[in-house]
Each structure stands twice: as C-alpha cells, then as structure tokens.
Structure 1
Amino acid sequence: MEVSMRSIVLTKGVPDFSEGAVSFDEDGHLERGKTPTVMNPNDEFAVQAALQTKVRHGGHVSGMSMGPPGYAEVLEEAMESVYLDDSYLLSDRELAASDTWATAITLNAGLETYQEQVAEIDLVFAGFKTADGETGQTGPQTCWGMDWPIVTHVIALDVDPEERRLRAKRLVEGDVDEIETVEAPLPCFVVTDPEFEPTYRKASHRLTHKQLRAETQERAANHEEHLTTWDHVDLNLDPDYIGLDGSPTIVSSVDPIPKAPSEREATMIDPGEDDMGEVLEEMHPFAAGGDAGTGTGD
C-alpha cells in the first residue's frame, strides 16, 4: 500500500550579507529596510532534504515561515527550489521582535494548526542556524513543543513510509569528526547539517525530479494563490507569550558590524593628465592579456 508523506520545511528570511547588497548606517549598524531579504542559506539544506524525500516517496511538501509580509517572497523562493505544493506564512504585528523562544512557540502553533486544519505531519525539516542569529536554537525548541524525536546535523537520510521509520546519518563533531547512523519513528523533526547532499541514484528519481521542476514553474509563478497567512488569532496565541512581550532574551548592547577589510591595495590619484598616464601604464598589461606581474603582454 502506498503511503502519502506529509512534510513541512521551515525557512526564514535573513538580510542578504553578500558584498554590495548589505546596507549600514554611519554608525555601522545594519539597515534592514535598505538591505534585501533572502532565504537563510542554511535552510537550503533543509529544502534539499525535503525535496529528496518528495522525489523518492512522493507526498505533499509545505513551506512555513514566521515574519513580515515580505517573507512571502522567501517562501516563493523555497517553492521554486524545493517544488513546494503550498506555503504558510505566520505574520502580524504581535509577532514582531520575537527571540528564538517566542519564535519557536509561534512555529509550534503553526504546526499544530496545520495538523488541525490541513493534515497530519510526518516530517518537519529545519536548517542548522540562521545567518543573522547564529544560535541554532529555534529548530530544537520548536521540536520540544511538539514532543517529537529530533535528529540533528543530518548529512543523509531516507524514510520507510510503511514502517514509519526515518534512517539518517548525522555528523558528530568532537576531537575527530564522526558519522553515526540513527533511526527514529515518524513523526520526526530533522535539522540538516551544511554537509547534507541529496542523492538521486535511480533513473526514476531523476525523472521525477525533472517532472516536479516543470510542474512547479507554473505554480511558483502564481505563488500567492498557494499561500495561506495566519495571524496570532488564527494560531490561538496569547500576545503576552509571543513577540517582544514573550521574549525572555535581553540584549545588553549591540556592536556595530565592522566593515570588511579591503583585500587589495589601492593608490589614490588626482584625475590630472600626468597621473592618468600612470594609470594607463599600469593597466596596459591587463588590456594586452598578458601576465600583469611580469609585464609580458604581447
């Protein structure tokens, strides 16, 4: 008997810290309003694990994120990469300024609401940590609220839907990196490691992967039609336990982000005729296509 799998992949939007994209004020503080938001890089491995599960075993994969309305674009990005069937955004002002604990409470409520209104969940996938928080707490805290088994630092996995078992390899870091194989019953929470690599050894898996990609292009183009937004009322959450009021973390201070040092030496010149001649002389080897270090351009 074929068993249909239900998976949720959690993802978050973070500032785009790539060179030239991030914006700082004069004091060196991040300006989120002027910095593009992208999917958290570590979530990409959770996305790949969810996609591998869907390719191998079929079923339904939903994306879920907590954040402002703009995070819908992050879920759209996830739909394009993991071929999500639909997305769920947990969003309203009461959720603003949540720390990891308040975020986990909200995500937990989102998963429970999904199970009450949509379907029972077999697997939840989460990334190792976020690029802006670097705590690695939200996934395990969310799982603690679900009272499910959790497998962290997963680098490879497979599922037996009929036996309802997860078998995974996880990276154990110590004096020497080791890999251990573990099993867990479903439903289960999976936190992927950056070393995770999806594998599609069977021709049927590769064909399914191609078909899903084609199907998702049309779905992602109309992402809003497949997006559900829940606020704290929909999630039956008390405002005293979410957002800033529900966050026990106290930030004592914020240090400006140091600007990255230049990797190249620079010579400042005035745009005079003589100085520009020196610039042209320096650039000539590069324009000639030769070795700039030896000046042997032809």
Structure 2
Amino acid sequence: MRSIVLTKGVPDFSEGAVSFDEDGHLERGKTPTVMNPNDHFALRAALQTRVRHGGHVSGMSMGPPSYSTVLEEAMEDIYSDDSYLLSDRELAASDTWATAITLSAAIEKYQEEVADVDLVFAGFKTADGETGHTGPQTAWCLEWPIVTHVIALDIDPDERVLRAKRLVEGDVDEIETVEAPLPCFVVTDPEFEPTYRKAAHRLEHKRLRAATEERVEDFDDHLTTWDHEDLRLDSEYIGLDGSPTIVSSVDPIPKAPSEREATMVDPGDSDGMEQVLEELQPFAGGD
C-alpha cells in the first residue's frame, strides 16, 4: 500500500505575530510558520493505513524552502519514508486551482518515476485560506474518486477498495458509509480518530516510531525538491499568472491583546503563597 500525504505550512496565527506589508500582503518571511492544523488528521489516517496494511508513505508539500520543516514534522508524525517539496519562485502566489495543477503534476511524476500510488490524503481546509478546495480540485485533475469528511476508514487490499465513514452535515449530523476503488483521494474530517485495536498494530506502531527516529536525524537525505521545470509545467498556468482567483482586499490581523493580569508572588512570601493556595483550592476538587 503506497500513500502520499499532502500538507502545508500556514502562518502561526496563535502567536499574534502575523506580519503584513504596507499593501496588506502577508509577509511569510516575517511570520512564524506551522503545519496546517487540519493536516494532522490526514497524517493520522495515513499512519493508521500503514500500520494496518504496511507499505510506503511519502509526505508532499508545495511552498518555499522553509516548508521542509513542515515535512520534517510530518515525518515525525506519520513515520513517512521520504518527502517531496515543490518549491519554485514560479509557483509563488498560487491560488487553490494553480496549487491543484501543481500537486497533480507532482503526483503523476511520482507515479512515473517512483511507484504507483494507492491513496492520497489531504486535510479538510487550511487555516490561511479556509476554502477546502485544494483536495477536491487535485482529485479532479487526477480524475480519481474522492471521499471527503472521512472520520473512519479501512482498506480491502484484495478487492482494492476503500471503505469509509464520512460525516454529512445537514439539518442533523449524519454518518454514511461509502466505498471507492483504489487509487482514491481521501479528505479527512477533524472528527477523524485512528484506532489500533490489535496488539500487532500497536507493536507495528512502536516499530515504525523507532525506525523513524533514526531517519529524521538525516532528514535532508530523504527530501526531494522539484521545481516547475521538473514537473513540466507551463509558467502561464501556475503561480500568480495561473491563478484566476482575485482577492479584492485583505484585512490585517492585529496582535491579540492580553486579557489576563498576572500577579507576581515570591515563593518566600508566606502570606502571598497562602493566597495562591486559597485561589487554587476550589479547582483541586478537594476540601
């Protein structure tokens, strides 16, 4: 079973240090970058699939060279065997459509030069775009079946079928069970929870973790970088030139003010420490 997990770096909005230039454009070089929170659920689904069915997992991301840190984090999380970074100035400022074209070209190149892919996993949406378009658009470019809002899944390797439960949001929350032939594209929902019920699965999980600890130390040896020429992409169809989305305006996100006041207490101040104890005691669950 061979899988690719798509992940992305996003601004660390929680730090309140998002930087914008005078035109209101995000300055990524001056803003801390973290892995997109929703991608963690895709990572967990890929890891569960590998633990249960074996195989090979590759991480893939599109962005500047600094996004290699996101792929390194992904390797630590899903014990991936290798990583692929799509990085090029020509790819800068891509909207979801231009991104999907690039990702699909990279997956096709992977299949031509590395191996056939059974599954591609992606997160629900990104924290900086909130569109949820990239996964479905990439699947459309590949002409693969796609299952979205997946909260549980398993594979029948003999029949080469994905069986999944997906969340359907309407007037009430519903769960439907679906099947899709491999290769297939999976978009995980934040409700996804991996399960390892068998002892063999838990032992395999432990073995993979131990093997990855050594691999991460030499992460650069397992990283491949492709630019738009490697992917045989026309610059007119990628990056800003290939992005039909028009952003009318951007509202800078101000640094969040602190809503809490701190009282400094010297550990040697018995009265002060007694007051701290009185404040904390109601939360301790005791008398």
Same fold, TM-score > 0.5, yes or no: yes
The answer to whether the 8 Å contact 2:12/2:33 transfers is: yes
Structure 1 residue matching 2:202: 3-state secondary structure: helix
Which shifted more, 10-19 or 178-187?
Answer: 10-19
Deviations 1:72-128 (A, max 9, x none): 111010000000010111111110010000000000000000011011110000000
Segments of 5+ residues of structure 2 without an aligned counterpart are: 282-287
Which shifted more, 204-213 or 249-258?
Answer: 249-258
Q: Distance in 2 between matches of 1:293 and 1:95?
A: 53
Q: Distance in 2 between matches of 1:167 and 1:94?
A: 38
Of 37, 47, 71, 2:43 maps to 47
**Could you tell me which amino acid in structure 2 is paired with residue 12 of structure 1?**
K
Alignment of 1:204-243 (within 5 A): 204-243=200-239
- Evaluate the alpha carbon distance shift between residue 229 and residue 29 of structure 1 in structure 2; reply closer, same or farther with a 3 A threshold: closer
Alignment of 1:118-197 (within 5 A): 118-197=114-193
- Evaluate the alpha carbon distance shift between residue 38 and residue 285 of structure 1 in structure 2; reply closer, same or farther with a 3 A threshold: farther
Deviations 1:26-62 (A, max 9, x none): 9787542222211111000000000000000000000
CA RMSD for the aligned pairs? 2.3
Give the aligned partner of residue 273 of structure 2: 287
Q: Distance in 2 between matches of 1:38 and 1:135?
A: 18
Deviations 1:190-223 (A, max 9, x none): 0000000000000000000000000001111111
Q: Distance in 1 between matches of 2:25 and 2:116?
A: 43
Q: Does 1:36 align with 2:32?
A: yes
Q: Distance in 2 between matches of 1:242 and 1:163?
A: 37
Matched residues, number: 277
Alignment of 1:66-77 (within 5 A): 66-77=62-73
Which shifted more, 101-110 or 30-39?
Answer: 30-39
Give the aligned partner of residue 203 of structure 1: 199
The answer to whether the 8 Å contact 2:18/2:255 transfers is: no
Q: Distance in 2 between matches of 1:26 and 1:93?
A: 19
Segments of 5+ residues of structure 1 without an aligned counterpart are: 268-275
Q: Distance in 1 between matches of 2:152 and 2:4?
A: 18
Q: Distance in 2 between matches of 1:23 and 1:190?
A: 31
Percent of residue pairs identical? 79
Q: Distance in 2 between matches of 1:159 and 1:236?
A: 33
Normalising by structure 1, what TM-score?
0.87
Structure having the higher Rg: 1
Alignment of 1:239-278 (within 5 A): 239-264=235-260
- Residue 293 of structure 1: CA displacement? 9.6
Q: Distance in 1 between matches of 2:21 and 2:96?
A: 29
